[in-house]
Amino acid sequence: MSSRSVRYTSSPLLASKTPVWRSQFIVACIALGFMGLVGRAAYVQVIDNAFFKRQGVVRFARTLELPASRGRIVDRNGVVLAASIPVPSIWASRPEDMERDPVKLKELAKLLQMPQAELDKKLQDPDKSFVWLKRQVDESVDKQIKALGLKGVYSRKEYKRAYPEGEAVAHIVGFTNVENLGQEGVELTFDKDLGGRSGSRRVIKNRLGHVVEDIGEMVPPVDGRDIELSIDSKVQFFAYQKLREAVLDNRAAAGSVVVLDVQTGEVLALANYPSYVPDRRANLTGAQLRNRALTDTFEPGSTMKPLVVGLALEKGLIKPESMIQTAPGKLSLGGHTISDAHPHALLSVNEVIQKSSNVGTVKIAMQLPSQDMWEMFTQVGFGQKPQVPFPGAVAGRLRGHKTWRPIEQATMSYGYGLSVSLFQLAQAYSVFARDGHMVPMSLLKNHQPPPGVRVYSPQNAAAMRHMLHLVTIPGGTAQKAQTMGYSVGGKTGTAHKQEGRGYAGKKYRGFFVGLAPIEQPRIVVAVMIDEPTNGRYYGGDVAAPVFSQTVQQTLRMMGVQPDLSVKPQIVAKAEPESF
């Protein structure tokens, strides 16, 4: 039968009567459902919308940190030692937004210099909508990544520290981590001042990480303040270079040099070798990282003798021309024998220092009460942490005088039985340069030294400067310390290195500390060469030449007029100092 012959209007199904209640019931159900939706919408959006607002905020609202620019570190002349520069950092959004082109991902891993497996792991974390791929990359790398056009990978500007003066100032300046927080040196000590205060911005982001709306008020960042050091970068660089040469020439383990301006109480240079480049720290070792001039201590050897002799002058026990019998070059004390490296006979006090006689020094020291010696050591800074704002600076070791035995008082007079840092030793010698007046040294630039204490009278300080000058002329132990154009004075020291509970038989530290010009001192320079192994180990041989070169260059840079008109005649064979 053809479909055209069917008459739907006469269908029995359509002709049957439907109960009215059924249609009414259906309409009522639809109305109730609609009212329920309206009620639910009103409840969600008006009555109890806090939960859903929170969820919206969690998903799309973000607080963006507005980083403060870290302050600069500059030297006394404004030369930049550390500064922040903007650099790109690479990040990725949530995994579902990432483009999974294997060729592009392989190229991305290559540009980021990371294994493909490590990159895949970072990109596959479903719980993270933000992940750093690599912090602080080069601009060229950022441009190449952008050229890939990889969806879901972005870059953000951050600040990275740059250190233009490199390894020469590394131990002073220190460095920051990837979060721009100080980790060593001045960067750590003044981290709060340098770091400033970050700002914030509250925004709404879309699912692609783009900012679509600002919400709330923006808190602007407060940039960190600059730190002006007392360091002179030119003096620092020259001192570092000469120290490095000395360490390598003497095949030594390490070395340090300290340069102080005694007129202003400022540190002009503080260098160590081995060193490191602050912004390239791959494979960095502890030996490279230590600021040895402040953190390492040693027994100062013969450099203690002028301090003890100066105290005896101050107490009126001796005069520079007083004669001391040192023959036969040995002295027994409490069952122990004290010896000179080379025996002498009758020596004046001047010659005791010039020849570095242990026997002569001990005979002078044993006339002093132990309390007087201890108080003098304390006044010049031994046994207490230097007042410089630097992490890791040590106090050294100085026992209370009540526990000293006679032999211990004797050995302390020529530098055994106590320990100091090179910085402490340089600071102690400033007492001779400042006419007997002791002031703490500053690592920050200042124009007026702080008040200090008087240790020696000006007359006795001048007498000690004359003795120190004798050490550097023919007949003394440090003729290699002589400097062209400038008169100098100082004292050598050579000490066995401690090893376990005793001393190493063939391991030494050689050091020299002195001042210049001798009549009106402007600087104190201390040099230490640790464990030289090239046949020479006396301080007069390994440390005094660094002193000489550093003094000459520093005084010229400071504009100090030469006080010598002729080149000093350096005798090739200097008399070795006593230990």
Please report the pLDDT score of residue 15 as a whole number.
61
Q: Which CATH architecture has domain 60-91+157-229?
A: Alpha-Beta Complex (3.90)
Whole-angstrom distance, CA of residue 37 vs CA of residue 449: 81
Please report the pLDDT score of residue 153 as a whole number.
84
Q: Is 51 exposed, middle or buried (0-12, 13-18, 19+ CB in 10 A)?
A: exposed
Q: Is 199 exposed, middle or buried (0-12, 13-18, 19+ CB in 10 A)?
A: middle
Please report the pLDDT score of residue 130 as a whole number.
76
Whole-angstrom distance, CA of residue 365 vs CA of residue 309: 7
Please report the pLDDT score of residue 576 as a whole number.
64
Q: Taking the model in full, what pTM does it have?
A: 0.82
Please report the pLDDT score of residue 8 as a whole number.
55
Give the CATH number of domain 233-302+377-557: 3.40.710.10
Delimit the domains of the chain by residue range. Answer: 60-91+157-229, 233-302+377-557
* Residues in the chain, pLDDT under 50: 1, 569, 571-572
Q: Read out DSSP for 360-427? A: HHHHHHTTS-HHHHHHHHHHTTTTS--SS--TT----B---GGG--HHHHHHHHTT-S-BB-HHHHHH
Catalytic site residues? 302
Whole-angstrom distance, CA of residue 421 vs CA of residue 416: 14
